[in-house]
A and B are shown apart, each in its own frame.
Chain A
Amino acid sequence: MVAILGRGNELITLDGVSKRYPNGTDALRDVDLEIDSGDFVFLVGSSGAGKSSLIRLLIREELPSSGRVWVDGQDVVRMRRSAVPKLRRRVGVVFQDFKLLPRKTVTENVSFALLVTGHSGEEAREETERALALVGLSQRREHFPDQLSGGEKQRTAIARALVSRPKILIADEPTGNLDPVTSWEIIKLLVRVNELGTTLLMATHNAEIVNALRRRVVHLDHGMVVRDEREGQYAA
């Protein structure tokens, strides 16, 4: 119903979403959330607050126990299994542990996302160049992951997430494994990606970054949204 009553600019909508795991843990409880196109949203909360569960619902790695989830106008809960790959091509995701393939170069890691979704080699090459230029890794394109610093690995992961030109970029603790200086480089990059038009949802523990940027902050606690502020702070 939220989608019908909404303002029409929402890219992500959660309507009364709850998630209970088979072991009885309530990861999310009756969560209502709308994220507009072009937003930069911090998802904060302690470990186990439900941030990762929420992200998994958005890319349909999991289904909610109740409630509805819309992403880019699509009902994620009711979509057929065969429609899931197309959803994931519109939602880029980066993780704390980078998830790079060690035997592939930077270029191969990035172009992989296009090649396995049926793009031609030519297309993959052009888009990979563009994505690597955007994250500032053109000079390191032939390096393997173990030849890169932590920040460079994360920038490779961001390039891979962006190479298919998604509408939404979800970053799950992207700075969790990085030192403060490198973390700031990554955040600046994500801000730039957002300024170029990609909606950004970032789960983080990093209070300094959240407080410095003063963007929208959604605070989860025990699976519930306890705070949702336009120019929020990590702690109330």
Chain B
Amino acid sequence: MRRLEYIGTTAAQGFWRNPVMSVASTFTVGLMLLLFAFFLATDRGLQAAVGVLESKVELALFLEDDARVSDVLALRARIEADPAVSRVDYITKEQAMARLLDIAARRPDIQIIDTSSNPLQNSLEIKLAHAQDAPRVAAALRQEVGNGVVSDIVDNPQVVDKLLTVTRVLSIGGLAVLAMMLIVALFVIVNTIRIAVHARRDEIEIMKLVGATDWFVRWPFILEGMLVGALGAVAATVVVLIAAGPVMNAMVGFIEILPLSFGTTFVWQLVGSVFALALAVGGGGAMLSVRAHLAK
């Protein structure tokens, strides 16, 4: 108990006796963690968006009005044989019209004036298992256009493609920025602890002289580093919780109709990850600093 008390008190003293450096490093760590939290949340949001879009990925083959049923069934069988295809639905022109009327009823900006004739076509709607396969499947089916069965093909996976590209760029760019911030945060913590070690160099010398173990010398500094990390994590978490609502709304408005909502499990995962990284960076940086001093 006495040992823990000594280690705890010394760590807290170290923090408060050098307030400028302590606050500066807490701020830097907090900023790094904020970036980390933003990166995690964005990554998770984009992944969710890709998931949602992927489940909606469709290719639509519009069929000639005079296409023979046997040819349509043969085409459908060929498409279903592709492992990338999860489902093929035959939609009659009447079903398509009903759908259109249903959409129009819910949207004031669309008005169907004349419903006496049906200009829509029968179609095959193809759902894919993975968005990545869309270009290949679409290219293969495009060759069917003009063969007497398929009149046109419509695909919407470009959106998914763009989103996948954005996710990739954000992942790589985010990781690069995060790595740089991590190095900066480590550098600041190492220097903060180095100053603390320097301020207590006489004490450390005497501790070693009277037979204190290296760990007993190290722990107060490691704890001080972890304290810097934890305070940075608290600051980052507070900012994230305050900013989460408005930022989320802006994102939903920006990306449009994507159901971006994070469950409480994700929030706890996020907070847990932020604190884990904070303690690791704080403790690790302090350990590097004090190890270098003890090795002298």
Contacts of A161 in B (CB 8 A): 210
Indicate if A180 sits at the interface (CB-CB under 8 A). Answer: no
* Interface residue A224 (Cβ < 8 Å from any Cβ of B): no
Nearest CB in chain A: distance from B207 CB, A: 5
Given the known interface contacts A82-B213, A88-B211, A164-B211, the answer about A115 and B2 at a Cβ–Cβ threshold of 8 Å is yes
**Cα separation A101 to B200 with both chains bound (whole Å):** 10
Question: Which chain B residues (228-258) contact chain A, with CB distance < 8 Å?
Answer: none
- Asked whether, in the complex, the Cβ of A87 is within 8 Å of the Cβ of B209, the reply is no
| With contact pairs A99-B202, A99-B205, A101-B202 given, residues A121 and B210 touching in the complex (Cβ less than 8 Å) | no
The complex places the Cα of A85 from the Cα of B208 at a distance, in Å, of 7
* Contact residues in A for B203 (Cβ distance below 8 Å): 101
Separation in Å of the A157 CB from the closest CB of chain B?
A: 10
Residues of A near B214 (CB, < 8 A) are 81, 85
Q: How many A residues are at the interface, by size bracket?
A: 20 to 34
In the complex, the answer to whether A88 meets B202 with C-beta atoms within 8 Å is no
Please state if A85 and B206 are interface contacts (CB–CB under 8 Å): no
B208 touching A121, Cβ below 8 Å: no
Taking a contact as CB atoms closer than 8 A, the residue among B3, B6, B208, B216 that contacts A88 in the complex is B208
Most buried by A among B203, B206, B207: B206
In the complex, A99→B205 CA distance in Å?
9
Interface residues on B, range: 10 to 19
User: For A117, what are the chain B residues with a Cβ–Cβ distance below 8 Å?
Assistant: 210-212, 216
Question: Known: A115-B2, A118-B3, A120-B2. Is A88-B213 also a contact (CB below 8 A)?
Answer: no
- Report yes or no: A121 in contact with B2, Cβ–Cβ below 8 A: yes
A59, A87, A118, A164 pick with most chain B CB within 10 angstroms: A118
Q: Say whether B209 contacts A93, CB under 8 Å.
A: yes
A68 at the interface (CB under 8 A from B): no
User: In chain A between 92 and 123, which residues have their CB closer than 8 angstroms to a CB of chain B?
Assistant: 93, 99, 101, 112-113, 115-121
| CB–CB B216/A118 < 8 A | yes
In the complex, chain A residues whose CB is within 8 Å of the CB of B2: 115, 119-121
Tell me if A7 counts as interface (CB < 8 A to partner B): no
Complex CA–CA separation, A68 to B294 (angstroms)? 24
The chain A residue with its CB closest to the CB of B216 is A116
A119→B2 CA distance, assembly (Å): 8
For B211, the chain A residues whose CB sits under 8 A away are 85-89, 113, 117, 164
CB distance from A167 to the nearest CB of B (A): 13
A117 to B205, CA, bound (A): 14
Tell me if A's interface is mostly helix, strand, loop or mixed. helix
Q: B178-211 toward A: CB 8 Å interface, digit per residue (1/0)?
A: 0000000000000000000000001101111111
Report if A160 contacts B (CB, 8 A).
yes
For A160, the chain B residues whose CB sits under 8 A away are 210
Q: Which residues of B contact A121 (CB under 8 A)?
A: 2
- Encode contact with A along B144-177: 1 for CB under 8 Å, 0 otherwise: 0000000000000000000000000000000000
Give Cα A169–Cα B217 distance, bound, in whole angstroms: 23
List chain B residues, Cβ under 8 A from A89.
210-211
Smallest distance from the beta carbon of B10 to chain A beta carbons, Å?
10
B3 — which chain A residues lie within 8 A by C-beta?
118
Is there contact, CB below 8 Å, between B6 and A116?
yes
Write the nearest CB–CB distance from B222 to chain A, whole angstroms: 16
Q: How far is the CB of B82 from chain A (nearest CB, A)?
A: 65
A59 CA / B209 CA spacing, docked (Å): 8
When the two chains form their complex, are residues B206 and A112 in contact, meaning their CB atoms are under 8 A apart?
Answer: yes
Partner of A101, one of B6, B206, B208: B206
CA distance A50 to B206 in the complex (A): 22
Q: How far is the CA of A115 from the CA of B206 in the complex (A)?
A: 12
CB distance from B214 to the nearest CB of A (A): 8
Contact of B210 with A164 in the complex, beta carbons under 8 Å:
yes
Residues of A within 8 A of B209 (CB): 59, 88, 93, 99
Q: Is the CB of B205 within 8 A of A115?
A: no
Interface residues of B (CB under 8 A from A): 2-3, 6, 202-203, 205-214, 216
Q: Which residues of A contact B (CB under 8 A)?
A: 59, 81-82, 85-89, 93, 99, 101, 112-113, 115-121, 160-161, 164
Given A85-B214, A164-B210, 13 more contacts at CB 8 Å?
A59-B209, A85-B208, A85-B213, A88-B210, A88-B211, A89-B210, A89-B211, A99-B206, A99-B209, A117-B210, A120-B2, A121-B2, A161-B210
